[in-house]
Structure 1
Amino acid sequence: MAEQIITIRTEYITLDAFLKWAGVAATGGQAKSMIAAGEVRVNGEPERRRGRKLYPGDRVSLSSGGAWVLQREGE
C-alpha cells in the first residue's frame, strides 16, 4: 500500500491527535487504545507513547493497514 502524504501547518503533531485527524480513530480514547495495543509504528518502530511528537518526514503505519508520511505545508 502506498503512503498517503499528510500536510501539517504546525511544527509537530502528537501521535494521538494525528490518528484522530487522519480519521483512523474516532476519539482520543480509541487512539489511546490503538497505541497501547501496539498497533501503531512510527518510522518502522512500535510506538506506545500517545504524546509522541511527529515531525515532517516521520512515517506512521498501522498493523491493520494504512501508512502515512508527514510533510510541512509549503514544502
Structure 2
Amino acid sequence: MQILDFHLDGEYVELNQLLKLVGVCDSGGAGKAIVASGDVSVDGKQELRKTAKIRTGQTVTIGDIRIRVQG
C-alpha cells in the first residue's frame, strides 16, 4: 500500500480536489468521476459525495493508496 501525507493549510479540502492535489488524478473533474465510481473511502466508509469536506486527521483510501490528512 502506498501512503501519501497531505498537509492541510485551511479548515478542510474538498475530496475531489484532494485527489487532484496529491496526484491521484489530473483534474478536479477526474476526481469527481473517481468518487462517483464508489472506489473512494473516508475513514473506512465509502464516500460518494464528490465535494465532501476532508479535515485534519481523516484518512482517504482509493485502491492501494492511502492519503493521511495532517494539519
Q: Give the CA deviation at 1:4.
A: 2.3
Please name the residue that 2:12 is paired with: 12
How far did 1:41 drift?
A: 0.6
For structure 2, the residue ranges without an aligned partner over 5 or more in a row are none
Query: Quick one: distance in 2 between partners of 1:21 and 1:4?
Result: 11
In structure 2, what is the equivalent of residue 29 of structure 1?
A: 29
C-alpha distance in structure 1 between counterparts of 2:68 and 2:36, whole Å? 21
Q: What is the alpha-carbon root mean square deviation over aligned residues?
A: 1.1
Greater Rg by CA? 1
Gap runs ≥5 in structure 1: none
1:38 aligns with 2:44: no
Q: CA deviation at 1:39?
A: 1.0
Tell me the percent identity: 31
Q: Which residue of 2 aligns with 1:70?
A: 69
Q: Deviations over 1:19-71 (max 9, x none)?
A: 010111101221111000001110001101011000100000102x2101111
TM-fit CA distance, 1:2:
5.3
Runs of 4+ in 1 over 3 A off after TM superposition: none
AA aligned opposite 1:55: R
The two structures have a TM-score, normalised by structure 1, of: 0.87
Alignment pair present for 1:54 and 2:54: yes
